[in-house]
């Protein structure tokens, strides 16, 4: 496809118009700015993938896209539950009406998975452009065998990472730390689901980063990491200007240095592994829900290279 499909232009128009209205602080747009911008971004990114590759998530797998929105909400709610105990962020400027506030939350949370995976797909679709600049089209390394010992150790370490932090007492302190110990535990959550779910995905035969590494293929990992960096910057940039937004409550000394938008410097280290974590969570849920069988249009094969997010 040589021309940009119609919804790509809609996405671009959404980005431009929302930015203009945001500068003028038009209340509905200013309050809902972040999910509006991500909705436009997702439409535009998908249209660009379609133009470059000839197939894309929204155009060719609309049922999977719709399920991805719901899974994005559900998986992010897992982190919201953790945050009740760990208290690393809170929200301001949200609608006072419960139904409207929950709608805003749901809309925002629904854009997380598609934004990351569309960005990774766009990086994949444009890899021939990267090769023209001297970057390799396929990242290969020596294969690493995933032994039963490693898979078991990964699962147990991941289980400890996600299970122990919320069980710590709220008043547990260490002399060297000025805040309660649970406030410092979110990094373990950010990594724990990768270690926990990747062995399961590997054993189930679902798309797996561990299987990629076993085959010496690092392209998908690299694109997801880069997608995490790019999306992380845009999350913080758009959130900074919005009326309805999140504020970080990172405890000292982790809040050192100047903040980039609302995020302390160290916080940006969390976005790359967060992208890997989202991939692992999504592939696990998709496999359990038989997404490969139920979400594709009947009789329609998935084009090579776009069979799952981030490929």
pLDDT above 80 for 237: yes
The region of weakest confidence among 137-151, 200-214, 242-256, 258-272 is: 137-151
pLDDT attached to residue 5 = 96
Q: Is 59 exposed, middle or buried (0-12, 13-18, 19+ CB in 10 A)?
A: middle
pTM of the model: 0.90
Model pLDDT for residues 218-234, shown as the tens digit of each residue: 999 999 999 999 999 99
pLDDT attached to residue 267 = 86
Provide the mean pLDDT of the chain: 89
Mean pLDDT of 58-67: 94
pLDDT above 60 for 41: yes
Mean pLDDT of 58-64: 94
């Amino acid at each position: 496809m040589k021309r940009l499909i119609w919804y790509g232009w809609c996405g671009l128009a959404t980005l431009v118009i929302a930015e203009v209205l945001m500068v003028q602080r038009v209340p509905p747009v200013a309050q809902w700015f972040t999910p509006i911008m991500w909705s436009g971004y997702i439409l535009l990114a998908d249209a660009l993938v379609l133009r470059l590759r000839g197939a894309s998530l929204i155009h060719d797998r609309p049922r999977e896209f719709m399920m991805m929105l719901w899974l994005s909400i559900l998986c992010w709610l897992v982190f919201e539950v953790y945050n009740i105990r760990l208290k690393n962020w809170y929200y301001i400027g949200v609608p006072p009406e419960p139904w409207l506030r929950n709608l805003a939350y749901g809309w925002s949370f629904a854009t997380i998975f598609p934004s990351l995976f569309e960005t990774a797909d766009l990086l994949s679709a444009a890899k021939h452009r990267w090769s023209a600049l001297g970057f390799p089209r396929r990242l290969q390394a020596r294969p690493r065998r995933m032994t039963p010992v490693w898979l078991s150790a990964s699962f147990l370490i991941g289980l400890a990472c996600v299970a122990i932090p919320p069980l710590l007492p709220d008043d547990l302190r260490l002399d060297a730390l000025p805040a309660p110990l649970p406030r410092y535990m979110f990094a373990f959550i950010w990594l724990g689901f990768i270690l926990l779910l990747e062995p399961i995905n590997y054993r189930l035969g679902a798309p797996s980063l561990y299987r990629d590494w076993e085959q010496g293929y690092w392209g998908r990992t690299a694109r997801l990491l880069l997608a995490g960096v790019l999306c992380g910057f845009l999350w913080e940039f758009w959130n900074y200007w919005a009326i309805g937004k999140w504020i970080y409550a990172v405890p000292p000394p982790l809040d050192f240095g100047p903040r980039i938008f609302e995020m302390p410097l160290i916080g940006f280290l969390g976005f790359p592994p967060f992208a890997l974590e989202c991939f692992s969570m999504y592939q696990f849920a998709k496999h359990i829900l038989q997404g490969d069988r139920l979400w594709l249009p009947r009789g329609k094969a998935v084009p090579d290279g776009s069979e799952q997010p981030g490929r």
